[in-house]
Amino acid sequence: MSDTDLGTLYVVATPIGNLEDLSPRAARVLGSVDLVAAEDTRHTSRLLRHLGLSPAMLSLHEHNEAARVEQLDERLRRGESIALVSDAGTPLISDPGFVLVRELRMRGRRIVPVPGPCALVAALSAAGLPTDRFLFLGFLPAKGGGRRQRLEALGQHTETLVFYESPHRIRDTLADIATVFGERRLVLARELTKSFETFLDGSASALLAWMEADPDQSRGEFVIMVAGAEARESTDIASLEADAIVKALLAEGVGVKQAAAVASRLLGGAKKEWYSRVQALKEAR
C-alpha cells in the first residue's frame, strides 16, 4: 500500500462552550471521517447530534490512550480517516492526544490540524496582559504543598503565567497565589464563551474576597493569568564568568589576540568583539 492510500488523523478543535464557535471545516471533517476518537463519547455525542451526525465513535482518554495506538494505526493503514476530539477546545492542550499523535507521527502517518477554539488563547486575547511572551503550565498540582512549590519556582519569570483550574480548587489556588506572588496583577477568565462568561481583574487576594462575597464566581472552569515578575536590573552572571576567564588568561601571560580567540571558541561570539572586550579588561587591570 502506498502512502497515498493511508488514512488521515484529523486533530479537531471543538467549542469550549458556545456551539457557534465550531468552524464549518470542523463540522465537515466530523461528518466525513470513518471514526471519531473522543475523550468522552457521551459528551461528544451531544455535539454530533447537534450537527445531525452519527459517526462511529471510540473513547480515547488519558487512561487508555497508549493502548489505543495500535488499533487506530491499523485503521489508518486500512485507509480510514479518524477525527481526534477532546471534551472541549483543542486536543493535546491539557487534554489527551499527545501519545497518539507522537506515535503516529513517528510512524509517518498523515496528521492534519483543524484549528479552532482554545481556552488558553481565548482568555489571553481578552485579558489585557502581555502576550508577546507567556508560559502555559496547564493545571497546577492538586495538593497545596506541591502547588506552592511550583508557584515559587515560577516567581522570577517575567512572562505572563497561564494556568487552568477547576471550580473545587480555585479558592485554594488563589490563596496560594496570594501567598507566593503577593499583590501581583491577576486576570481570571471564567466560563469562557458561555452564558456566564466573566473576567475578574485584580490581585489574588482581591479576587478571593470577591468569591467569598459572591460564591457564584467560584463556579465553572477557569483560566488563571498572572502578570510576570518585574524585570530586575542585575549583573549578568554569565558575563561575570566570561570576564573571569579572560582575566585568568591575561594573568597567565596570554596575549590579547590569543585570549580573544580562546574566548570566542569557548564562549561563542565574534573574535573581533572579544578582542575589544579583552583589550578593555587588560587596560582596566
Fold of 120-226: 3.30.950
Q: Structure pTM? A: 0.79
Mean pLDDT score of the chain, rounded to an integer?
A: 92
Could you report the per-residue pLDDT of 41-91, keeping only the tens digit for each? Answer: 999 999 999 999 999 999 999 999 999 999 999 999 999 999 999 999 999
Q: Which three cell numbers stand for residue 3?
A: 502512502
Fold of 3-117: Cobalt-precorrin-4 Transmethylase; domain 1 (3.40.1010)
280 contact partners, CB below 8 Å, separation of at least 6: none
| pLDDT score for 67 | 97
pLDDT band at 235 (very low <50, low <70, confident <90, very high): very low
Q: Structural domain boundaries of the chain?
A: 3-117, 120-226, 237-283
